[in-house]
Amino acid sequence: MWILGGNENYFADDPSFYRNDVWSSADGVAWTRLPDAPWKPRLWHSAVVYRDRIWGLGGNQSRTADFNDAWYSKDGIAWKQLKSKIVWKKRHEHSTWVHQDRIWICGGTAEPGHLNNEVWSLFVPPDWFGE
């Protein structure tokens, strides 16, 4: 299991409360804190496991700064940002899941009060990572 980032105090719009910490647990009881990830601290992002990697997608930092980035890691320590020419709208509070060998991203809030109904999918070939 994984916990990625978040916010310690939702009601205080203070960047010092946003997190990019990474935690892992094999049993949900004993948790290990790993080094902070290189992505900007955020909340309301999503995470899935796909192709034996944890993926973190989108999110928000402060009430006006949304993200549309995608990061992945095999171990929760070494992170890489997915580079793509296809850019989905920045968003937070979206749904993300894995189905039929793809990551699916749906909906979310693009800006305060601007809901979107886009659906995006991402397919990564098994040999794409070059490992």
pLDDT tens, residue by residue, 98-130: 999 999 999 999 877 788 899 999 998 877 776
Joined together, the tokens standing for residue 44 give 């309301």
Question: What is the span of the domain harbouring residue 44?
Answer: 2-122
| pLDDT score for 131 | 57
Q: What is the pTM of this model?
A: 0.90
Map residue 69 onto helix, strand or coil.
strand
Buried b (16+ CB within 10 A) or exposed e, 25-36: eeeeeeeeeeee
Q: Is 131 a domain residue?
A: no
Arithmetic mean of pLDDT over the chain: 90
Q: Is 9 a domain residue?
A: yes
How far apart are the two ends of the chain, measured CA to CA in Å?
Answer: 23
Instruction: Say how many domains are in the chain.
Output: 1
pLDDT tens, residue by residue, 26-53: 999 999 999 999 999 999 999 999 999 9
